[in-house]
Amino acid sequence: MTLFLNKETVTSDMSDNALLAYVALRHAMSDSIALVGKSTTKMYVSSEQLCYNLTGNIAAGYLSMINKGISELQAREMITLEDAGKYGLIFDVEKLYLDTKKQYFVMIEEREVRKILNCEQITYCNKRVSLMRYFIALISTFDNSASFEYGAGKIGHMTIDFIAAQAHTSLRTAKRYNDELSDMQIIYIYRTNDKLVVDGKLKQIKNTYSRYKDKDICINFGENSESQGYIHQVVIPRKNKEQADRNRSLGAKYNALLNWHTDGREYKYDEDTIREVYRYVDNKNKQLNELISEKEEECKRVGKISESEQKYLDGLKEQLRDLDFLEEYKPIPAKDKTQEVWGDPLPVDDWSDEELLYYLDQL
C-alpha cells in the first residue's frame, strides 16, 4: 500500500507524536478502515486500530504517542473530535485530505513504515518514530521531475544539512540515521569520492540518495554526475607562479632551520623571516589536521578503514611539521593582516588521494 502524505505537514515543526498520529490517520483513510459513509469526512476509529493497522502490533509506546499526537492534531485544528464512543472516537478528517494536483506530497510504502517501526535493533518506540520522520523528510527532498536525466523522481541530492533541517533534527543525528536506514536496506547512498577545496580546505561533495530498490539508478546518476559535472564542478585553487615559488622557498627555509636546530648551529635568517616560516608551516599543519580529523571521523562512523584510506591518512600525517623548536618565533597576528590570495579556481575532473596529497605537499 502506498501512503500519500502532505509534504508541508511532514516537514513542519509538529512533534514526533503528532507526526505518528498523522501518518496513522492517513493510513486509516485508505480502505483498511472505512469512513462513516462514502460521502462523509467522518471516521470512527480507536488508537488501538490506528496502531495495529499501521505497525501490525499494539505496542504501549506507540499507543501513548498516538493518543498524545491526536490531541496535538486537534490543537492544531487539523482534525475535529465529533463524538466519543465506548471503543473509539468519531473524528472529522476533512483537513487531512490531499489534493495531489494542487498540493506537494510525499509517497511512502506501508512496508517501509512497518520495517522501521518494528526494527529490533532500535529498542524504544520514540526512537523508531524519529527515524521514520527522518526517512519521510529524506524522501521529501527527492527530485520531482519524471525525466530520467534527473533520476526519474527516484533520487535526491540535497545536502545533509538541508535534510536534517527538514526532519528537525541535528546534523550528527541525521548522519546516524543515514547509516541505520542504509543498514536496514531501506535507502541507498552513493557517497561520491569528489572533494571541493574551499578556502584551502577540502570539503566532501554532497551524496546522492535513493530507496534501496533503486540503488542502480542512484549509482548511475552519481557516477554520471561526477564524470559530467552535472550537479557540481570540483574546483581547486590555482596560485600564481610567484605564490608557488614563495611557498617552496618557505618550505626549504623550514628544512634549513630544522637542520640548524638539530646540529646546534645558529640560525642564518632574520627574525621576521623565521616568523614568516612559522606562520606558513602552522597554517599548513592546521589544514592537514582538519583533513585527518574528518577522515578519521568518517572511518569511525563506518566502523572500518580500507588500505587506501589508511595510506591517505598516513600520507597526511607524514606532512605534519614540528614547530616546537620555533615556539619563541610564533608571530602575533596583526588585526589588519589579510588572508593569503589563492587565485582563480581551476576546474578539474576526479582527483585521487595521491593527487590531493601531492597538491597539499605544494602548499
Output the pLDDT for position 127.
Answer: 94
Whose grid coordinates read 502532505? 6
Torsion of CA 129, 130, 132, 133, to 10 degrees: 120
Kindly state the percentage of the chain with pLDDT values over 90.
38
Decide: 122 and 180 in contact? Cβ < 8 Å: yes
What is the location of CATH 1.10.10 in the chain?
2-118, 148-233
Chain centroid to CA 224: 21
CA distances from 273 to 28, 191, 213, 278, 361 (A): 75, 44, 60, 9, 21
Output the pLDDT for position 74.
Answer: 93
Exposed/middle/buried for residue 59 (C-beta within 10 Å: 0-12, 13-18, 19+)? middle
- pLDDT tens for residues 271-309? 889 998 998 898 888 888 888 888 788 778 767 777 777
Which listed CATH number (1.10.10, 2.60.40, 1.10.3470, 1.10.4160) goes with 148-233?
1.10.10
pTM tops 0.85, yes or no: no
Q: Does domain 2-118 have CATH number 3.40.720?
A: no
pLDDT band at 135 (very low <50, low <70, confident <90, very high): very high
SS3 44: strand
Residue 359: beta bridge partners?
A: none
SS3 88: coil
Q: What stretch of H or E contains 45?
A: strand 42-45
Structure letter (DSSP) for residue 20 = H
- Number of Cβ within a 10 Å radius of residue 4: 16
Give the DSSP letter string of 142-194.
S-----GGGTTTSEE---HHHHHHHTT--HHHHHHHHHHHHHTTSEEEE----
**Dihedral sign of CA atoms 53, 59, 61, 67 in order:** positive
- pLDDT tens for residues 42-83? 888 899 999 999 999 889 999 999 999 999 999 999 999 888
Check pLDDT > 80 for residue 7.
yes
155-159, 166-170, 250-254, 359-363: which range is least confident on average? 359-363
Output the pLDDT for position 145.
Answer: 56
- pLDDT tens for residues 226-245? 554 444 444 444 445 566 67
Chain centroid to CA 231: 16
Grid cell digits, residue 268: 642564518
Smallest CA-to-CA distance from 353 within 285, 292, 286 is with 292
